[in-house]
Amino acid sequence: MDPLPASFTDGAALSHTDVLMNDISRRLSKTELIDRLLPRFLRYVQVWTTSDRHISDTPSTPGQWDLAKTIEAELRALTGLPSGSEITLTDHCYVLARIPATKGKEKAPVVGFMAHLDTSSDVSGKDVKPLLFKNYDGKTITLAENRSIDPAAYPSLADRVGDTIITSDGTTLLGADDKAGVAELMAALEHFLVHPELEHGPLEFIFTPDEETGKGLPEFPRDLVRSVACYTMDGGDQGELEAECFTAWKADIEITGKVIHLGTARGKMANAVSMAAAYITMLPRSESPESTDGYYGYYCPLEIRGDLEKANLEVFLRDFDQVEMDRRVASLNTFARAVEAQFPGGKISVKPQMQYLNMKRKLDAEPRVLDLLVRAAQKAGVEPHFKPIRGGTDGSRLTEMGIPTPNVYTGGHNYHSRDEWAGLAEMVAATETLIELIRLWADETAK
């Protein structure tokens, strides 16, 4: 790939592409930040931290301990860690770093920053082999096993000409969700320690397990956290800020058939496998993840298993509107009765469970949290814009616990897939936004 142009023509109006390339070039010149950010990210993605939603323990997998202990050790080893700092690794794999304020900023509010250690089980996260494509030329990126990432399919990639693009080798996901956020938090913290002249208030950095399981911060050490506000580094495209998310429910559907010898089954048998299949077909295809976007919710059958006598389905329900969510939960029972009518003798039990709530209402009540975030992005040279999360973060649950927690971009893309990638300049932008946000909070007054 050709090197970046040394400069851009002054005086003439710059095209959208020129503006982006100028921004990328400027951010890739931030060698100090990159030296703190990139090596960490490449180390972290190679730690196998896939979580398992079928396991109730926290953490659900042992690999998350490996990364948690790595983060704990790196925190303790940071040069310039001030007296009074507290580093805690809890019995359930939460890492908490509490950093005291610089002199004169002790009365500023305590603010938290959070990222999660685990990666999704949707695609393998074992033996991740990160690849760097420096000075990306805008062409299709070829990976292993005849896989490729085509910028024609992903416009965000097409916009990153000149950037350093980080991918896996195509046999696994990359793990930018959320190890990009973990690396950015660590790089931002180190930046303040290396530059003690930069003022900040009291800070908390939190690293959590099992975010991808949807459990909602089980065993979270709420009694240890003093933050009046927090920010999850778990978003995507540069500039995307997220202050509202799905309300999320899941339902365990238990199906009991009626079994008899197949040779004499006429009029007697209710096949639990067939009932499960019939139930899934009742879920509206127009209200599925692959058929909706924006503010439209969905049903998603996530897992099916069983035999003639017993079958189980796990169904996710997502919506931004509580009235619509109530309708979806009620519909699951309607579908159950309809399938039972088709299979006399068979029974279906629906067990719904709330996972997390839309954080919009509580964030609207704390406008300072979002106002400072927007200002921080702008001071970092990023044009911020809000979009709803078609999913959730640990911030959704933390907001319910009383700590308003919006979500911030990290520069990761195509999460939960083998096509996952991250742009280094975007990761630098996210880190710069963090730095500006911390500085802005230092000038606030605790309520």
Residue 225 and residue 202 in contact, taking contact as beta carbons nearer than 8 Å: no
Residue 131's contacts (CB-CB under 8 Å, 6 or more residues apart) are: 143, 166, 167, 168, 169
β-bridge mates for residue 233, sequence order: 408
User: In one letter, which amino acid is 189?
Assistant: L
Of 211, 240, 420, 436, which is the active-site residue?
Answer: 211
Q: Is 10 a catalytic residue?
A: no
Instruction: Locate 379 and state its tokens.
Output: 């001071």
Chain Cα centroid distance, residue 17:
28
Q: Is 118 a catalytic residue?
A: yes
Instruction: Locate 299 and state its tokens.
Output: 């049903």
Residue 386 and residue 360 in contact, taking contact as beta carbons nearer than 8 Å: no
In this structure, what is the dihedral angle of CA atoms 441, 445, 446, 447, given to the nearest 10 degrees? -130
- In angstroms, the CA 237 to CA 444 distance is 28
Residue 229 and residue 403 in contact, taking contact as beta carbons nearer than 8 Å: yes
Nearest 5°: phi and psi at 279?
-65, -45
DSSP state of 288: S
Of 74, 118, 242, 394, which is the active-site residue?
Answer: 118
- In angstroms, the CA 207 to CA 96 distance is 7
| Residues present in the chain in total | 447
- In angstroms, the CA 13 to CA 7 distance is 14
Q: Give the catalytic positions in this structure.
A: 118, 211
